[in-house]
Amino acid sequence: MTSTTATPRKRLFIRTWGCQMNVYDSARMADVLAPIGYAPAETPEGADMVILNTCHIREKATEKLFSELGRLREAKQARRAEGGEMVLAVAGCVAQAEGAEITARAPWVDIVLGPQTYHKLPEMVARASRAAGAVIETDFPAEDKFDHLPDAAAPQGVTAFLTVQEGCDKFCSFCVVPYTRGAEFSRPVAGVLAEARRLVAAGAREVTLLGQNVNAYHGEGPEGRSWGLGRLLRALAEIPGLARLRYTTSHPRDVDDDLIAAHRDLPQLMPFLHLPVQSGSDRVLQAMNRGHTAADFLRIVDRLREARPDLALSSDFIAGHPGETAADFEQTMDLVRRVGFAQAFSFKYSARPGTPAAGAPFQVAEADKDARLQALQALLREQQDAFNRSRVGMTFPVLFTGPGRHPGQVAGRSPWLQPVHLTGPLSLIGTEAPVTVLAAHPNSLSGLLAAGDAPYDVQPEEEPAPA
């Protein structure tokens, strides 16, 4: 393989698991490979390169990876039988954590690379074509990978993601991120603003800032001083054409006064915040090494709601962390009742190898974990339904993002991130328009345009499948 722009088009297939940061990283890997001739392909069959961008958060991540690698071994052999080659790369958090196991169990893998080394992909592809074994890059290099990545190439559409921070120093007992993504690192302000301007020029109206600990952001500002997330959001809000801002994922410990003030001052900052709490029991929060109490969380929520009264909250919960008693779990239920969440993600605890909680005593019995998760999810579902129903009759701006599922429909997002559907022209896409909500569904809303001489009919549709 060569590294000239005259290289003929080669087909690149990327399978992405996990969070939006992985989706963003996959797009950047495609960007970095484009100059050496790789263009996106829809399927792995017949591809010249396949990248599996993995996630270590969910259960059985490693097993899923190896069964996928088994299938790809056959695709690689078929490609070779046709006289071609398929470069097979494993990226992401599983690659970072289990690089040696991957090359031992799947020697047909050509490249293993961790999340901090994506800018080295073209060089690794060249090395892989010469090497006898796999090329492995799982260091946490001192240099900023963002300095070495090309400008984001592919327009993302009306809504776009922008990574501003990576890694985590918090070491929660159950989480692999600090081991797979390394220490907290923030992109300098200038690079973030430049990328945001490019996204807006390419059609983005809403930008979501991404980071494993996004509100721990402390990027270097143009004057050489560190900026927090609040200040960064204020600068982004000045970009003409950037109508909406969001950020995820936050940690309660890093919600500072300036960030709360940004929620009060910036109309572009949407009134919806994902703020993981994990548990309502101080005992469990301490065992989780979260660095905050339930009361701290409630105080932050109160202050945020004072600053932005229409703010709705989403959170993450773990049921059955080692040591959690029935009484601890009841405290989680109490916290949920006290806050009232518009949306939430809840999981039963499952051990991640190498994390402190995995080897902790007092693991909770599966049946108890199941029962607690069911009770928690029933309460959270009730709250989500109530929140969706509370929007019926309200009129608020919807940002239209694409066609709906049925002919004649357009789809968009409410300020609270709910999907909204109505019958209307595709020319609405990319614009914000006021919509009156007429019906709430489990995961979406439907309504009609509030402005104009001829409002569009309501056409509630079936619930879309969850993402």
The DSSP result for 403-421, as a single string, is E-SSTTEEEEE-TTS-EEE
Task: Return d(Cα 137, Cα 27) in angstroms, integer.
Answer: 19
Applying the rule CB under 6 A, the residues between 175 and 194 that interact with ligand SF4 are: 175, 177-178
Size of the site for ligand SF4 (CB under 6 A): 10
Q: Is the dihedral of CA 418, 419, 425, 427 positive or negative?
A: positive
Residue 423 pairs in a beta bridge with 409
CB atoms inside a 10 Å sphere around CB 467: 5
Task: Return d(Cα 280, Cα 333) in angstroms, integer.
Answer: 7
Give the nearer residue to ligand SF4 in terms of CB position, either 251 or 441: 251
Least separation, in Å, of the C-beta of 434 and ligand SF4? 36
Task: Return d(Cα 144, Cα 269) in angstroms, integer.
Answer: 28
Least separation, in Å, of the C-beta of 146 and ligand SF4? 19
Is there binding between residue 251 and ligand SF4 (CB under 6 A)?
Answer: yes
Give the nearer residue to ligand SF4 in terms of CB position, either 165 or 409: 165
**Inter-residue contact 407 to 416 (CB < 8 Å):** no
Least separation, in Å, of the C-beta of 348 and ligand SF4? 16
Give the nearer residue to ligand SF4 in terms of CB position, either 26 or 212: 212
The DSSP result for 263-326, as a single string, is HHH-TTB-SEEE---B-S-HHHHHHTT-S--HHHHHHHHHHHHHH-TT-EEEEEEEES-TT--H
Give the nearer residue to ligand SF4 in terms of CB position, either 208 or 418: 208
Instruction: Find all residues with CB under 8 Å of 80, minimum gap 6, and list them.
Output: 86
Least separation, in Å, of the C-beta of 315 and ligand SF4? 12
**Inter-residue contact 81 to 45 (CB < 8 Å):** no
| Tokens, residue 35 | 């100059």
Based on the number of CB atoms within 10 Å of its own CB, is 252 exposed (0-12), middle (13-18) or buried (19 or more)?
A: buried
Is there binding between residue 352 and ligand SF4 (CB under 6 A)?
Answer: no
Least separation, in Å, of the C-beta of 168 and ligand SF4? 3
Q: Is the dihedral of CA 182, 188, 191, 193 positive or negative?
A: positive
Least separation, in Å, of the C-beta of 75 and ligand SF4? 34
Least separation, in Å, of the C-beta of 425 and ligand SF4? 42
Give the nearer residue to ligand SF4 in terms of CB position, either 168 or 304: 168
**Inter-residue contact 164 to 214 (CB < 8 Å):** yes
| Tokens, residue 180 | 């797979």
Applying the rule CB under 6 A, the residues between 155 and 174 that interact with ligand SF4 are: 168, 170-172
User: Three-state DSSP class for 450?
Assistant: coil
Give the nearer residue to ligand SF4 in terms of CB position, either 21 or 111: 21
Binding test (CB under 6 A) with ligand SF4, winner from 16, 213, 383, 388: 213
Give the nearer residue to ligand SF4 in terms of CB position, either 68 or 254: 254
Q: Please give the annotated binding residues for [4Fe-4S] cluster, written as ranges.
A: 19, 55, 93, 168, 172, 175
Q: Please give the annotated binding residues, written as ranges.
A: 19, 55, 93, 168, 172, 175
**Inter-residue contact 110 to 135 (CB < 8 Å):** yes
Give the nearer residue to ligand SF4 in terms of CB position, either 21 or 134: 21
Give the nearer residue to ligand SF4 in terms of CB position, either 266 or 358: 358
Least separation, in Å, of the C-beta of 274 and ligand SF4? 12
Binding test (CB under 6 A) with ligand SF4, winner from 186, 212, 281, 383: 212
Least separation, in Å, of the C-beta of 212 and ligand SF4? 4
CB atoms inside a 10 Å sphere around CB 257: 11
| Tokens, residue 59 | 């259960």
Phi, psi of 386 (to 5 degrees): -65, -40
Would you tell me which residues interact with ligand SF4 (CB under 6 A)?
A: 168, 170-172, 175, 177-178, 212-213, 251
